[in-house]
Chain A
Amino acid sequence: MLILECPYCGVKAEETELSPGHEAHLKRFGPGSSDEDFESYMFARKNPKGVHFERWRHSYGCGKWFLAARCTATLEVFGTYPAQTSEPPPDIVARIKARRPEWEGYK
């Protein structure tokens, strides 16, 4: 059972205090978008064995959504950060690269 630190309230919350919310940094495609873009937004989810970015909500705590970068194979957590970002912050990216030199980067 994972522990993730909520970047808003600082609680190192165990998984039962959190709700999962699928892949992070999705770009919304609304009216007028192509079928391909809409399909990728709605249905095409990454499912890597390795570095992954996810949404979590501190639902039994401060109620805020945050994002987590972790390894789906080893469960190593590279960091958590606020949801109001459109891509992983540089310090998290640097930490991942240090720990996973073979990582091909975000996107």
Chain B
Amino acid sequence: MSEAVSALGNASFEGFATVRELGPMGMITLRARHDLPALTKALQKVLKAELPERRRIVSAGEVRVGWMSPDELLILLPHADVTARVAALTKALGTAHALVTDVSDARCLFAIEGERAAEVLMKLAPVDLAALEPGELRRTRVAQVAAAFWAEEGGFRLVAFRSVAAYVMGLLAHSAQPGSELFPA
């Protein structure tokens, strides 16, 4: 039995903000219409979590549930819990039309932290960071790849695809270089 490893072995970079690769993080894609009653029930029963509003990410203990599209949620949870939760969610959804699948290994997760963390993302994503609302999950691109991020205590979390983890780390490190702060102290 081998241990699962994250894409970059938790690499990190110290610049004017701190960049860390996290994981392995458990992630589940759940596709179902959000107005499906079984969905709300399944989330409550299996994860003790509420259905997030449009473009929001909600937390329940160690679990995060993010709104990805009108019929898609991304669930973040401890890696060890994934298999059991996929099974439980599938069971709870019963015969309703839904798709629940483990995507933990298809993604990578980064933390961008520090008072100037937003300046790192301002260089990479066509997003008005100042207008990012608390609990907002923003899907967009960073430079040339798809990503999603949201604010958390001390900075931001960013999810991207696993195959481009090294590219994303390169982008974040380049953008956090000391001396390249966007605004005066």
Which A positions have Cβ atoms within 8 angstroms of B?
8-11, 14, 16-17, 59-64
Contact of A9 among B55, B126, B146 (CB under 8 A): B55
- A14-B126, A17-B126 known; A61-B54 Cβ under 8 A: no
Main secondary structure of the interface of A (DSSP, over half): loop
Q: Tell me if B68 counts as interface (CB < 8 A to partner A).
A: yes
Q: Which positions 105-164 of chain B face chain A at CB distance < 8 Å? A: 126, 138-141, 146
Task: Classify the interface of chain B: helix, strand, loop or mixed.
Answer: strand
Task: From known contacts A8-B69, A8-B70, A17-B126, infer whether A60 and B146 are also in contact, taking CB-CB under 8 Å.
Answer: yes
Name the contact of A64 in the complex, choosing from B67, B69, B140, B141 (C-beta under 8 A). Answer: B69
Question: How many residues of B are in contact with the other chain, CB < 8 A?
Answer: 13
Contact partners of A8 in chain B: CB under 8 A: 69-70
Minimum CB–CB distance for B128 against chain A, Å: 9
Contacts of B54 in A (CB 8 A): 9-10
Q: A16, A62, A63, A64 — which one has the most chain B CB atoms within 10 A of its CB?
A: A62
Contact of A60 with B139 in the complex, beta carbons under 8 Å? yes
A-B contact pairs, 7 of them (CB 8 A): A9-B70, A10-B54, A17-B140, A62-B68, A62-B139, A64-B69, A64-B70
Docked complex Cα distance between A63 and B74 (Å): 14
A61 and B140 form a contact (CB under 8 A) = yes
Whether B69 pairs with A60 at a CB distance below 8 angstroms is no
